[in-house]
Structure 1
């Protein structure tokens, strides 16, 4: 959001935004280590599928790369839509209603906001959305944990 509030040219803002997505996968790996999630569980055959879902998103980023010089004021909207849509297969993989709901909600809301407002509003919306999404996942995991405890 800070990048898009500056007086930098839109192409420079977009370049910084695009570059800031690079550490997200390593960051996810570090967070999984911190919360003791086996990011590379070789015993689970679905782990490879989860990695494939992540790698698949890189192909979608080609769309954002095309938007960058063509419609630069809409690049952040496209990145937000790609991010939201990439959550959908994880909804199936993790059997998570939160993932499914946010996978549908994020692209639609990003489109509406992106068409009607400046890019910094999308950045603000995504920050809020990520906080709400994280809270929903915490509640979803607690519910699963309590169900698991009552079944044993």
Structure 2
């Protein structure tokens, strides 16, 4: 693909088609939150918080796996795909914060993972031309704060399942948006 001669709009359209608005990342996130919720039935306290921390490392490889299974190129060489990768990589800088939260107030860790994780989704609103990313970012941050801090006794019980539901809803919305986008662009081409 000759990315150098493409307009910004063409780059966005190409990435939307190729990466399917990044929905494999939400499948991986849903699986992470489901696993954390289920593990919470057997573990508790700092042990469970440690699993939360370690488990975050599974999301990126799972997203690649889900993308490969669905034949979706989430590692696109499109310059906006590269930018998306850099934005996603920002989460690596959250790790020290999560470690400090774990060491000082492990019970806040689900909230911290939820709120900071939500923050990195915001730029995809522009990249993928999707308001769903804005609504998801706000919803995830609010739910994480409410069920992870205000109602702290729900941090390890309800929060993972609520976030799993939000992630799965986002998968459905992104799949529908991508199908709608492809049908509109195929009509414009014809």
TM-score, reference length from structure 2: 0.73
User: How many residue pairs were aligned?
Assistant: 150
* Equivalent position SS for 1:78: helix
Asked whether the equivalents of residues 111 and 144 of structure 2 are also in contact (C-alpha less than 8 Å), the reply is yes
* Higher RCO structure (Cα 8 Å, ≥6 apart): 2
Residue 9 of structure 1: how far off its partner (Å)? 4.2
Counterparts of 1:128 and 1:122 in 2: how far apart (Å)?
10
Which residue does the alignment assign to 1:38?
Answer: 73
Counterparts of 1:93 and 1:16 in 2: how far apart (Å)?
32
Give the gaps of 5 or more residues in structure 2: 1-36
Q: Write the deviation string for residues 5-34 of structure 1: whole angstroms up to 9, x where unpaired.
A: 23x341100111111221211111122222
Report the RMSD for the aligned CA atoms in angstroms: 1.5
Which residue does the alignment assign to 1:82?
Answer: 116
Counterparts of 1:135 and 1:9 in 2: how far apart (Å)?
32
Q: Write the deviation string for residues 50-101 of structure 1: whole angstroms up to 9, x where unpaired.
A: 1111111111232211110211111011111122111111222211111121
Which residue does the alignment assign to 1:51?
Answer: 85
Which residue does the alignment assign to 1:10?
Answer: 45
